Amino acid sequence: MKMRGANILVECLKREGVDTIFGYPGGAILPVFDALYDADLKLVLVRHEQGAAHMADAVGRVTGKPGVCMATSGPGATNLVTGIATAYMDSSPLVAITGQVRTYLIGNDAFQEADVIGITRPITKHSYLVKDVTQLARITREAFYIARTGRPGPVLIDLPIDIAQAETEFIYPEKVEIRGYRPKTIRTPENIDQALEMIHKSKRPVLYVGQGAIISNAARALSAFARRAGIPVTTTLLGLGAFPEDDSLALKMLGMHGTYYANHAVQNCDLLIAVGARFDDRVTGKVSDFAPKAKILHFDVDPSSVSKNVKADCYVIGEAKAILEALAKKVRKLNIPDWLEQISEWKVKHPLQYTQGEHEGLKSQYVIEEISRHSGRSTVVTTEVGQHQMWTAQFWNFTEPRTNITSGGLGTMGFGFPAAIGACFARPGEDVWCIAGDGSIQMNLQELATAVDHNLPVKVAILDNGYLGMVRQWQEIFYDKRYSYSYLPGPDYVKLAESFGALGLRATKKNEVADVIRKAQEYKGPVLAHFIVKKEDNVFPMVPAGRSNSEMIEGMA
């Protein structure tokens, strides 16, 4: 059966289980949009291609299956770049499809031509320029396989318009065989035994868990192993939700804005068990002083992550779920009462805290805690990037995996709101909140039109302090309060929401917060809830850049 390349692509998407695509049309991608006209697939028409990439990224994070975004050539493709880089840094499965000029024009500076393969090569797991329509089905099949296997990530398919219009016989490849790409998923038994020996000998162990545990669906295995052995658990920003934070063994997040007790537990442990984590600089602080008393045991699916930043004394290559299940079957309960007592003492003496008086300015921490208190355990929370992101990590108690959707590695402002829209499509019927700052929300606010078009029940809490909050915090602490271009007055968000056809709400006082949250949750469509918060408030604890995690600032005098 002969089909056009565009129809072959659409048929392959359907066979890969794709039901929703996020995209924006343009000349070079029009054959594919034409094929979608009669296809049993939903295309969500975004207002900016960057939004499409973030929405697709969120689908990948929430479901574990590659999200799909689509744009035309040139500026359409380059507008996807920030979203692709975000997915790459956070190991999110994504397939980006871009239109391209005709094959014989490539390299001639044709209208709306950009070397998207060259531009995105450093930020994709793999990329394809389709030069032969007979290879399109194979390429599409491989793209999805590469995106979701091993350490997930984005894959790009660049499709010239003449290839999309060409015809060939459609043959869907049932198997994928790629020379040189063999993701390792089998653990090494002897290293498992060595790991167990190190665990059983330890007196002050800590589990340090990253997003790899969530990607491999290892949350249940992690809980079984940690509780059976009695080992405290700290997580990275992207690992939040891998272990329930209401468990007595939970230490919450570590690192630059981690808890006092998590950082001190890591700094004083004798065995640090890293699970699906890459020892990011925001976690380690000064690398030479990180976990100075500990042996390092590292479990990871990606061999290149082992000993990359911190040397491992023992490692096991494989999926976190398989490794933790194997360990849980054999591990013994550790006799470490003194260590657990010390951690409990740190928790009591150095808790996360703030004050919220009845008549003082509204605190962001209070708003976040109130939204968390009124939300279910499975509520999906996306964030933008900045102070509000760190406060959400600190004061929202995450108890389930794939409910914390945030930009960790790239720290992309403008991510959270489109990501919340993507989460609504990925989990229909689930509550979705976006916690945003007044700076970040303005970067992709145009996607409110997308949310209104589909009457999505997305709720956005804008914590408005009139500044680029984290920039202002650094200027206060490290630049003598020289607030150079960080003051950022914004619009009237209630009127703005209404102009788009959404519901706008506002709170300026403590006693107004609960009512705004209730009204937002009761409303069936999109909501912008505008919380005017204290202008000069800082995120603590804080480890200054380049300093040891032992040198936390707990607050300002």
**pLDDT tens per residue, range 10-60:** 999 999 999 999 999 999 999 999 999 999 999 999 999 999 999 999 999
Banded model confidence at residue 180, pLDDT cuts 50, 70, 90:
confident
Give the pair of three-digit tokens for residue 556: 């300002």
Average pLDDT over residues 486-514: 97
pLDDT of residue 355: 92
Average pLDDT over residues 493-520: 98
Average pLDDT of the residues of the chain: 96
pLDDT of residue 189: 58
Q: Which pairs with CB-CB distance under 8 Å and at least 24 residues apart come from 352-359?
A: 352/252, 352/259, 352/394, 352/395, 356/510, 357/510, 358/510, 358/511
Average pLDDT over residues 414-433: 97
Banded model confidence at residue 381, pLDDT cuts 50, 70, 90:
very high
pLDDT of residue 188: 55
Neighbours of 357 (CB within 10 A): 8
The domain defined by 2-169 folds into Rossmann fold (3.40.50)
Please say whether the beta carbons of 285 and 547 come within 8 A. Answer: yes
Helix segments in 257-353, DSSP class H: 260-268, 281-284, 320-330, 337-349
Give the pair of three-digit tokens for residue 138: 């194979």
Q: What is the pTM of this model?
A: 0.96
Torsion angle, CA of 476/480/485/486, rounded to 10 degrees?
Answer: 0
pLDDT of residue 1: 81
Hey, what CATH class is 189-349 in?
alpha beta
Write the DSSP string, 456-500: --EEEEEEE-SB-HHHHHHHHHHSTT---S-B-----HHHHHHHH
Given this chain, do its domains 2-169 and 364-538 carry the same CATH topology? yes
Q: To 5 degrees, how large is the angle CA 37–CA 24–CA 101?
A: 90
- Is pLDDT at 108 greater than 90 in this prediction? yes
Banded model confidence at residue 182, pLDDT cuts 50, 70, 90:
confident
Cα separation, 436 vs 407, whole angstroms: 12
Spatial neighbors of 180 by CB under 8 A, at least 6 apart, are none
* DSSP character at residue 20: E
Could you tell me how many helices (H) and strands (E) the chain has, helices first?
Answer: 22, 20
Average pLDDT over residues 201-224: 97
* DSSP character at residue 374: T
Banded model confidence at residue 358, pLDDT cuts 50, 70, 90:
confident
Instruction: Kindly state the percentage of the chain with pLDDT values over 70.
Output: 99
pLDDT of residue 184: 67
For the chain, give every domain's residue range.
Answer: 2-169, 189-349, 364-538
- Is pLDDT at 152 greater than 90 in this prediction? yes
Q: How far apart are the first and last CA of the chain?
A: 75
Give the pair of three-digit tokens for residue 265: 């537990």
Cα separation, 319 vs 303, whole angstroms: 11
Hey, what CATH class is 364-538 in?
alpha beta
Banded model confidence at residue 557, pLDDT cuts 50, 70, 90:
low
- Is pLDDT at 513 greater than 70 in this prediction? yes
Read off the pLDDT of residues 434-478 as tens digits, 9 standing for 90 and up: 999 999 999 999 999 999 999 999 999 999 999 999 999 999 999
Average pLDDT over residues 313-322: 92
Average pLDDT over residues 520-541: 97
pLDDT of residue 347: 98
Cα separation, 295 vs 66, whole angstroms: 36
Read off the pLDDT of residues 60-107 as tens digits, 9 standing for 90 and up: 999 999 999 999 999 999 999 999 999 999 999 999 999 999 999 999
Q: Which residues pair with 235 in a beta bridge?
A: 209, 253
Q: Cis (ω within 30 of 0) for the bond into 541?
A: yes
Average pLDDT over residues 379-399: 98
* Burial 200-223, CB ≥16 within 10 A → b, else e: eebebbbbbbbbbbbbbebbebbb
Cα separation, 324 vs 286, whole angstroms: 29
Rounded to 5 degrees, φ, ψ at 389 are -65, -45
pLDDT of residue 239: 98
- Is pLDDT at 186 greater than 60 in this prediction? no
